[in-house]
Structure 1
Amino acid sequence: MRELVELTKTLMSFRTMHSRPEEIRRCADFIESYLRDIPVTVQRMDCEGIPSLWVIPTKGRVPVLLMSHIDVVDAPESLFEPQERDGRLYGRGSIDDKYAVALSMTLLKEHMQELAAQGLSQDALSFGILITGDEEVGGYRGARAALPHIPADFAIALDGGSFTEIIVKEKGIVRLRLTARGKTAHGARPWLGVNAIEVLMEDLLAVKRLFAVETDDHWHRTMNIGIVRGGSSVNQVPDVAEAHLDIRYTENDDPKALVEAVRRVVRSHVDVLEQEPLFFGEAAGPVETLMRLVPEARLGRAHGASDARFLSQFGIPGIVWGADGEHSQHAEDEHVIIDSLVQLYETLRRFLRLVGRV
C-alpha cells in the first residue's frame, strides 16, 4: 500500500492544469513509461493535444474497464506538494483523480505479475484501464474519443461516490451564454443610453425564478451564474454584457424545454454552449457482485457529472465509484482518506477476480 500512496504523490506533483498543457503531456509520458516497464502494450491517442492512454487485453473484449483522469482544476503551487496527516493525503488531485490513476496502474502491474508467474501474457488480461487528460473540461477529447476503441462489457469510473456509495445516476448539464445588448452613452448622461448590464441583471433574476424549487436532497434542477462580463469604462454606459450559466437537470426535466423557458423570460440572446445527458448506470450483474463484497454500500446519485455519461453513448453499462474524500474535490483542503483507498484497492482486487476472472 505504501507503493500506491507514493505513486499517488508522484502523480500529484505534476501540475496537470489546463493552463499548463505541457504538464498534462509530461504526466502522460511518465504513466506511459511506467506501464511499458511492467511490461504491457500501451495504446496512446493524442486528440487535439489531449493524451489518453489505455491498456486492454490484446484479444477479445474487456470484461471490466477502470476509468480515471490526470487533469485537475487550477490551484496554487503549494497544493502540488502532497502532505500526509491524520490518515489523509492532501493536495490537488488527491481525490480528483490522481489516486484513481495510481490505483489503476498498481492493480495492472500486480495482475500482470500474476499472469507472468503462470506463463501467461497480456492476451489473458481480463480487465483494462483508461486514463484520460480532459475530464475537468468536458471529456470530449479524452473519454469520448477513446471509448469507441475499447470493447468493454462493464466500466467503473473511479471518479466520485465513496467506498460505501456506488453512483448509478448523475445529473445532466446545460451551459448557456446570455448576451444582453444596450446602447452606449456617456456615464454622466445614462438616460441617453440603455445599460446592457442592467438588462442582463434583470434577465438573470428572471432566470433564477425558473429554479426556485428547493428540496432537502437537492435532487432538482439548479442554476449557477458562473461568469459575468460587461463594460469597459466606468464613465460609459455599456452596450453589451454577457453571463455564462451552468444548469444541472434531473430525469424530471426536459433540457430543450428548459432552454426555451429561459428564452421566453429574457431579453438577452441565448446561446447553448453545451448540453449533456444524464448518466444512468447499472444496478445489476457486476454491481450485485460488488455490493456483496461491500455489504454496507448503497446505490446513490450525484449532482455533478463525470466521463461516465459517455458510457451509455457507446453501449457500455457502468457505475461511478471511488475512495472517500469527504466532498473535498476542487477545495483548498482536497484530500483522500488513505484507509478508504486501501479498502478500495483490496475490494477491487477481489471484484476483478470474480467478474474479470483474473
Structure 2
Amino acid sequence: MTFVLDDIINTTQDMIKIPSISDDLINLEKNIDYIYNFFVDTNLIIEKKYYNNKPNILVKNFEGKKADIVLNGHIDVVAGSDDKQFEPYIKGNKLYGRGSIDMKGGISIIMYIMKYLDSISYKDKKISLIITSDEEIGGFDCAYNIAKDGYIGDIILIPDGGSSTRIVNTQKGLNLFEVVAQGKSCHSSRPWLGDNAINKIFNLYKDLKETFENKTKNNRYSTVNLNKIQGGKSINAIPNECIASFDIRFTEDFDDSYVRETVNKLIINNSCTVIKSIFGSCLHTDENDKNLQKFKSIASDLSGGKEINFVKEHGGSDGRFFAQYGSKIILYRPDGDNLHTFDEWIDINSFELIYNSYLKFILS
C-alpha cells in the first residue's frame, strides 16, 4: 500500500494556509477548489454541491448516491485571534496550525486514500469522499442536507474523533429547536389579568430537564440547555410573547422516536409552538458489530499490537446526520491536541497508521 508522508504533510499545510473559517464563503470555496483540483486528473466523478451558498465536494468511484463506504470530513475551522495561526510549521513530530487536527490532516489522509484507489482502478466497493464546510457551526446546511438527499453509505469513516489508540463509536445526538409562546399582556401590578409568555418557556425548560437529564451517570448524561430567550418590551408590563432556543444533547439511552415525540408533546403541553428545528441522531455503533471489530483488529495489527479501545464522546460530528439513515459510523484520527486554540497541532508520525488502517479496511 503506497504511502508518501511528505505529500500528505504538504497537502495539510496547503489547506491550513487557506483560512476557511465557517462563515468565510470565499475561503471555504478556495479550500473546496483545492480539493477539486487535487482530483481533476483522476477517473473519479467529482461534484460540487451548495446548500445555503456553502460549498461541498463529493468524489466517487461510481454513478449514483449511496456508497458502501464513505470517507467524510469538513474543511471549515473555528476562527482564531491571530492570522499567524494559518501559517503552519513543524516542530519535532508536530505540525502546528489552525485546523491541523480538526481536521485538515485527516482530510489530507482520506484524499490520498481516494486517489490511491483510483490509481489501482478499484471498483469492488462503491466508495465516496464527502467533504463539507459547516461542521463547526452544526452541519445543519451541508451534511444534514447531503444525507437527506441520499448521499449516504453503509459505513462512514471519519478522521474527526478519537486518536491512534481510541476509536469513537458513540457520540450524542442533538435536537435543536426554537419555539414561541404567546400570552396576554397587562400591567405588571395586575398579573392575574394577563398571561406571562415567559413563564411558559420556563415551564417547558423545567419539564425538558426533568425528562432527559440524569446527572448520576458518571458525567455522561443527556443535557438540556436554554441557549437564547427573548421576551417582553417593557419593565412594567406582562410579556405577551417569548421566543426561545433549546439545545438537547441525548445519549444512546434514548432512541430518536422517543426524543422527537416527547419533545413535541412537552412543547404542546406548555402552549408553545415550534418555529424551526434540526435533529441529528445519536451516533452509536455496537462494539460487537463485525465491521467495527474488523476495523479495530486491523488498526491494532498495524499499530504493532497496541491496545486500542472504543470510547464515547460528549461532542458530536457530521456522522450524526448519516447515522439517522442507518449508516454505521467509525471515528478514528491521528494524534493531536489543542483543537480551536492558538497552538493546535497534529502528530505527523501517526499519519501512516490512520492511512493504512482506513485503506486496509476498505480493501479487505
Q: Extract unaligned runs of 5+ from structure 2.
A: none
1:81 and 2:82 correspond:
no
CA positional deviation for 1:89: 4.7
Check the 8 A contact 1:65/1:156 in 2, yes or no: yes
Greater shift in the superposed pair: 78-87 or 154-163? 78-87
Greater shift in the superposed pair: 281-290 or 240-249? 281-290
CA positional deviation for 1:63: 6.4
1:30 and 2:41 correspond:
no
Could you tell me which residue of structure 1 aligns to residue 135 of structure 2? 135
Check the 8 A contact 1:40/1:122 in 2, yes or no: no
CA positional deviation for 1:74: 4.8
Query: In the alignment, which of 334, 338, 343 is matched to residue 323 of structure 1?
Result: 334
Cα separation, 1, equivalents of 2:343 and 2:262? 33
User: CA 1:64–1:194 in 2, change beyond 3 Å: closer, same or farther?
Assistant: closer
Cα separation, 2, equivalents of 1:297 and 1:76? 36
Deviations 1:6-63 (A, max 9, x none): 43233233343443223222221122112225x4534113133333323333589976
User: CA 1:41–1:240 in 2, change beyond 3 Å: closer, same or farther?
Assistant: same
1:284 and 2:284 correspond:
no
- What secondary structure, in the 3-state scheme, does the structure 2 residue paired with 1:173 have? strand
Q: Extract unaligned runs of 5+ from structure 1.
A: none
Alignment of 1:164-313 (within 5 A): 164-184=165-185, 191=191, 195-197=196-198, 199-215=200-216, 217-232=218-233, 237-253=238-254, 254-260=258-264, 262-263=266-267, 266-270=270-274, 273-281=277-285, 283-285=289-291, 286-287=294-295, 288-294=297-303, 295-312=306-323
Deviations 1:137-192 (A, max 9, x none): 335544752697768564311221222111222222222323233444577x6757
- What secondary structure, in the 3-state scheme, does the structure 2 residue paired with 1:102 have? helix
Q: TM-score, length-normalised on structure 2? A: 0.75
Greater shift in the superposed pair: 57-66 or 279-288? 57-66
Q: Percent identity?
A: 24
Greater shift in the superposed pair: 254-263 or 146-155? 146-155
Q: Which amino acid counterpart does residue 333 of structure 2 have in structure 1?
A: G
- What secondary structure, in the 3-state scheme, does the structure 2 residue paired with 1:246 have? strand
Figure out how many residues of one structure are paired with residues of the other and give that number: 345
Cα separation, 1, equivalents of 2:153 and 2:19? 31
Cα separation, 1, equivalents of 2:214 and 2:144? 33
Check the 8 A contact 1:207/1:265 in 2, yes or no: no
1:56 and 2:69 correspond:
no
- What secondary structure, in the 3-state scheme, does the structure 2 residue paired with 1:169 have? strand
Check the 8 A contact 1:195/1:238 in 2, yes or no: yes
Cα separation, 1, equivalents of 2:165 and 2:277? 35
